[in-house]
Structure 1
């Protein structure tokens, strides 16, 4: 069934939005009214899905949580209209809305049973299960809404590690950063990074640091390996990854390539056993990313391991004060 989506402020929202939320969340799912109606409604944009004959059938809201982050919530479709693609239409409309407003991150709290639904549109789980109003939930996010909106046209589970097997090309820095962060944010255990040096514009960013920090603390077997040719820029200027590495030395290790042995000419980042960001040259933001390319990752893993085995530690970084 086709549906149209209308946008309202809370002050101008029609009663149908309240009615649908009352019916789905309070009556059907037994959410206490005092939890359903909150102050966030006042600052959120509200979306109403209607049929071609203007029958209200679904709702959602979206609000700004941080400067570049939007949150989706209170998404509901009336029971008699479920299974007809209405939820997908509504969710994709919200994703395009976030992309048009240039948000860098899109988050939501999903009921556990709905995880596959949100994954199909490019969201990935980023928390353990918790209860909200007595219902199991997980946090989900997308770290690149613009790419997410682009991928909805031709991909199932766009940007999802282990599922999206079509390569994403990039030729500018912003697109490259979004792909790097999206891959790093889904890594569950192993992230290996090879580059000429830890470029500040690429790696010395708060969001990337937080993603690496979360990975290092996620699992007792988590492993971050950084392999570079030149550590002089790190000695001359503070770097967030170096500071993190020195606080988590058992999880994050940096080595310098041994120039007496062959080394690869193209930088890359490997995520677990399926994800890769590959650049064609050290000094250009040009290349591709793939979220489900186990064959290529296996070959690059072997290349990385050969360089790693002959690499050495950085004495200069070890002697820097914390």
Structure 2
């Protein structure tokens, strides 16, 4: 996959819902077998969303920033992983939080993704817990 022409769009749920839902459905519901009713919530309408598009315009990654400075629903399609797309989405959402004056951002990382967030400057903030049958850890990033 060519990430040279990667395009990242930051917008509201109404603008990005179709593409964000497709990615989240593929990653969380199909791949990770999370029940669909756990994936969708009313918070989407209040979030800032990010969707990454590859050079051909295909949506390949997404994430959201909640009003309480919590980042969530980070997902990159399997064929697009390992190319830095997730890091670009994460950094863009962090910039959105920083621009609105947040002192920090938080997230609940799947344990399997903890090292990804550690590399981005996050620190673990609590013990392991289970969410949707998957081990998670709370993490925080403090803006300097």
TM-score interval w.r.t. the shorter chain? over 0.9
- Alignment match, 2:134: 135
Is the aligned partner of 1:76 residue 2:75? yes
TM-score by length of 2: 0.92
1:62 to 58, 62, 65: 65
- Where structure 2 has 5 or more consecutive residues not aligned to the other structure, the ranges are none
SS in 1 for 2:10: strand
The answer to whether residue 6 in structure 2 is matched with residue 7 in structure 1 is no
> Secondary structure at the residue paired with 2:66?
strand
Greater strand share, 1 or 2? 2
What pairs up with 1:8-157 in 2 under 5 angstroms? Answer: 8-65=11-68, 70-144=69-143, 147=144
Distance between the aligned counterparts of 2:98 and 2:32, measured in 1? 31
Dislocated runs of 4+, deviation >3 Å: none
| Partner-residue secondary structure (3-state), 2:138 | strand
**How far off its partner does 1:52 sit?**
2.8
Cα separation, 1, equivalents of 2:102 and 2:10: 18
Pick closer, same or farther for the CA change 1:14–1:35 going to 2, 3 Å.
closer
Give the C-alpha shift of residue 14 in structure 1: 4.3
Aligned to 1:76, the other structure's residue is in SS state strand
For 1:9 and 1:88, the matched residues in 2 are separated by 20
Whose radius of gyration is greater, 1 or 2? 1
- The SS at the match of 1:11 is helix
Q: How many residues align?
A: 141
Deviation at residue 8 of structure 1 after TM alignment? 2.2
The 1-side partners of 2:135 and 2:42 are apart by 23
User: How far apart are residue 137 of structure 1 and its match?
Assistant: 0.1
**In structure 2, the residue corresponding to 1:84 is in which secondary structure?**
coil
CA distance 1:130–1:14, change in 2 (3 Å): closer
Q: What SS does the corresponding residue of 2:16 show, helix, strand or coil?
A: coil
Unaligned runs of 5+ in 1: 148-322
Q: Deviations over 1:76-95 (max 9, x none)?
A: 00000111111111111112
State the secondary structure of the residue aligned to 1:136: strand
| RMSD of aligned alpha carbons | 1.2
